[in-house]
Structure 1
Amino acid sequence: MTEVPEYLLERSRQRRIALGVLEDDGSSGGGDAGAAAPAAGATAAAGPTQAEMIAAAREAAQLEVEPEAPPDPSWVIAAQTRHRIPIWVLPVLFCLPLWAFVYVKLTEPPPEPITAINEGATTYAVRCSSCHGGDGAGSDGGLVGRPLWDGEVLLTFPSLDDSFIEWISVGSEGLGLGQVYGDPNRPGGAHISGGSDNAAAMPAFGDVLNEHQLYSVARYVREVIGGEAISDEVAAERDAEWEHLGGGALSGGGGGGGH
């Protein structure tokens, strides 16, 4: 046990006397030397108590109890205790958009192959439907072009030959106004270039359509709108002619007439 100096003990005793905790027995300072000696001897014999020694040491050192730190806010505790994101997650998150793009592309159905018939349908919708109508009704439906439906185009052009392709390519002015086009012995009378029977003149499309487009739109008008029935052998021959003219490869791939 550490021995506390006498002056510290004396200071502590004087402090307690001043506070009224301890009575003054006259043992300190002056007074009768004879009376002080026995008291000092008794005090020395008894010695300070442990409580007195601790109190004196605390008073001498002026110990102060440090206040406890306030607890951390809840958001700080949550940030300190939450699970950290593993480092391997970062490259995974970076690759997710690329993976999604590849997945969508792999699951998309392949594009429909280009054929003579669907190429002709596209050309007809863009170049011909405004005058002849989407169904080919033409003037029967209140439009300005001649009717093509219900076999009308087949009566005018009984076969898919150069005369039909030329008519689409050069139109009324190219053929010559007032000239007969198609079958001159057409049932119901021959058709005259330049427009009649509430039908307008035929524009020329040779400058805006290439050879395989002219051929494919002629096929679409005959086989789909006109209702021409052909055998598989004839369809195969026409497909081969369309491809020979540049259809399929120049149209974005595919081939065939859709039969």
Structure 2
Amino acid sequence: MLGRVTCAAHAGTANSFDKPWGNPAEETVAEVPEYLLERSRQRRVALGVLEDDGSGAAAPGAPAPGAGAAVAAGPGPAEMIAAAKQAALAETEPAIAPDPEWVVAARTRHRIPVWVLPVLVCLPLWGFVYWKLTEPPPVPITAINEGATTYAVRCASCHGGNGSGSDASLVGRPLYNGEVLATFPSLDDSFIEWISLGSEGTGIGRVYGDANRAGGPHVSGETGSNMPAFGEVLQPHQLYSVARYVREVIGGEDISDEVEAERDAEWEHLGGGSDSGGGGGH
């Protein structure tokens, strides 16, 4: 197939003046091979200037462009160079990989509000304050509970927790069931002195307490197990409070409110309640 390009020119110079002025010049038609046109079209498609419509080469038997039809003007050199640069840039530009799912999730998740941070900081302090406010108040120190503590530490190993003593195969004399009250009928200096001095301080073989007690008097050292001296390890108010605990709780002594108030005052006078900052009282 051949394409034709028409060029308008005057037929010649020799006889140009022989023709009337204004008559159309004779047209010269140049035949362009079809494969050159197709190659030009493919080049423009490769450069991105022309969109490929899939037509390809002209179908066999298709009529050639008619005579006198001008060939469509293609892109200029500047446009072709710019298109070539753009195509090369598109080929060399690396593709950007999409972000992983965990990155997308981290970017789109809900953020922690700013006001939550001071709340989290103050939460432990609030918990401590709440715990202290709900904690039950400490038990006040009294002569009786102080004497109970002293008895458990100093006396229970020999006399037993309930004061059963030798009745429970222990080495100390029994103090319960009124035994201590029979030996020491009143809370006087003799009972405090016995706890303070012990068997050896009182004197081995000497009678201590009431010599006329039922069942006979008690003699220091007669049981073969000596009473320790606590005067050097206990404070005066502790000697007094443990004597009260032995008499009033273990021995079952029944006292009036007036006597109880007097004993509480004496315990405080000796220093009771001041060690722990608590008050006195039964």
TM-score under structure 1 normalisation? 0.78
Instruction: Output one character per residue of 1:58-78: Cα deviation in whole Å (capped at 9) or x when no partner.
Output: 975563477864432221111
- Aligned residue for 1:228? 253
**Alpha-carbon separation, structure 1, partners of 2:57 and 2:73:** 14
**Alpha-carbon separation, structure 1, partners of 2:253 and 2:261:** 15
Unpaired runs of at least 5, structure 2 = 1-34, 44-54, 60-65
1:78-157 paired onto structure 2 within 5 Å: 78-157=105-184
Residue 48 (structure 1) shift: 5.9
- Aligned residue for 1:22? 57
Instruction: Output one character per residue of 1:78-115: Cα deviation in whole Å (capped at 9) or x when no partner.
Output: 10111111222222211111111111011101000000
Instruction: Output one character per residue of 1:2-51: Cα deviation in whole Å (capped at 9) or x when no partner.
Output: xxxxxxxx987424589x93359xxxxxxxxxxxxx86x5133xx3699x
**Alpha-carbon separation, structure 1, partners of 2:86 and 2:264:** 110
Q: Aligned in 2, Cα 1:251/1:168: closer, same or farther, shift over 3 Å?
A: farther
> Quick check: which has more Rg, 1 or 2?
2
**Alpha-carbon separation, structure 1, partners of 2:127 and 2:199:** 55
TM-score under structure 2 normalisation? 0.72
Greater shift in the superposed pair: 72-81 or 140-149: 72-81
User: Is the CA contact (8 Å cut-off) linking 1:155 and 1:186 kept in structure 2?
Assistant: yes
**Alpha-carbon separation, structure 2, partners of 1:217 and 1:13:** 124
- Residue type at the aligned position of 2:56: V
Larger relative contact order, structure 1 or 2 (CA cutoff 8 Å, min sep 6): 1
Unpaired runs of at least 5, structure 1 = 1-9, 25-37, 51-55
Residue 130 (structure 1) shift: 0.4
- Structure 1 residue runs of 4 or more that deviate by more than 3 Å after TM superposition: 10-13, 15-18, 56-62, 64-71
Number of aligned pairs?
225
User: Is the CA contact (8 Å cut-off) linking 2:166 and 2:174 kept in structure 1?
Assistant: yes
Q: Aligned in 2, Cα 1:12/1:84: closer, same or farther, shift over 3 Å?
A: farther
**Alpha-carbon separation, structure 1, partners of 2:228 and 2:70:** 137
Higher-helix-fraction structure: 1
Q: Aligned in 2, Cα 1:48/1:57: closer, same or farther, shift over 3 Å?
A: farther
**Alpha-carbon separation, structure 2, partners of 1:237 and 1:49:** 128
**Alpha-carbon separation, structure 2, partners of 1:175 and 1:75:** 87
- Aligned residue for 2:219? 192
**How large is the Cα RMSD of the aligned pairs?**
3.0
Say yes or no: does 1:253 pair with 2:281: no
Q: Sequence identity, in percent?
A: 70
2:104 to 77, 102, 119: 77
SS class of match (2:70):
helix
User: Is the CA contact (8 Å cut-off) linking 2:144 and 2:245 kept in structure 1?
Assistant: yes
- Aligned residue for 2:227? 202
